Amino acid sequence: MTTVCWDGETLAADKRATIGGLYRTTTKIYRVGSSLAGFTGSGVQCREMLAWARGGFRKAKFPDIQRDVESSITLLVIRQNGVIQAYEHTPHAITYEDKQFAIGSGRDYALAAMRLGKSAEEAVLLAAEFDPGTGNGVDVLTL
């Protein structure tokens, strides 16, 4: 439950966390070296994957909990050269060739907004209008 999107220049994410039916506010996008990273999924696993990424994406150190296909989170990484990669339940990234990209429960709204010329930040705000898992503000990072 979230919306993280890349418009080719900017990575944006909503700040809504849901804990036992309550909405809280958190940060979901970060700088990792010269790259940008954003997450969807369990906050605990997101923090573990963030630590793994900041440790250099070492395959041997990939978090064991992340290998469970049923409960893995998605780590979206935007490399310095703009390459889009996603890590799910293995330490091997899926590379996407799209200019714009989005993950999370509000992804479809965000992709449509960006397709119509909106920025990543505007796309997250639009997704928040329709997706109950998206809200509580927007964080924005650029390479």
Q: Which CATH number do you get for residue 33?
A: 3.60.20.10
Domain membership flag for residue 137: no
Domain membership flag for residue 139: no
Domain membership flag for residue 83: yes
Domain membership flag for residue 18: yes
**Which residue range forms the structural domain that includes residue 38?**
4-131
- pLDDT by 10-residue block (mean), the chain, 143 residues: 96 95 95 96 90 96 89 92 95 96 97 98 98 97 95
Residue 43: its pLDDT value, please?
Answer: 85
Contact partners, residue 123, CB within 8 Å, separation at least 6 = 3, 5, 7, 12, 102, 109, 110, 111, 113, 114
* pTM listed for this prediction: 0.94
Domain membership flag for residue 138: no
The tally of domains found in the chain comes to 1
Contact between residue 131 and residue 109 where contact means Cβ atoms under 8 Å apart? yes
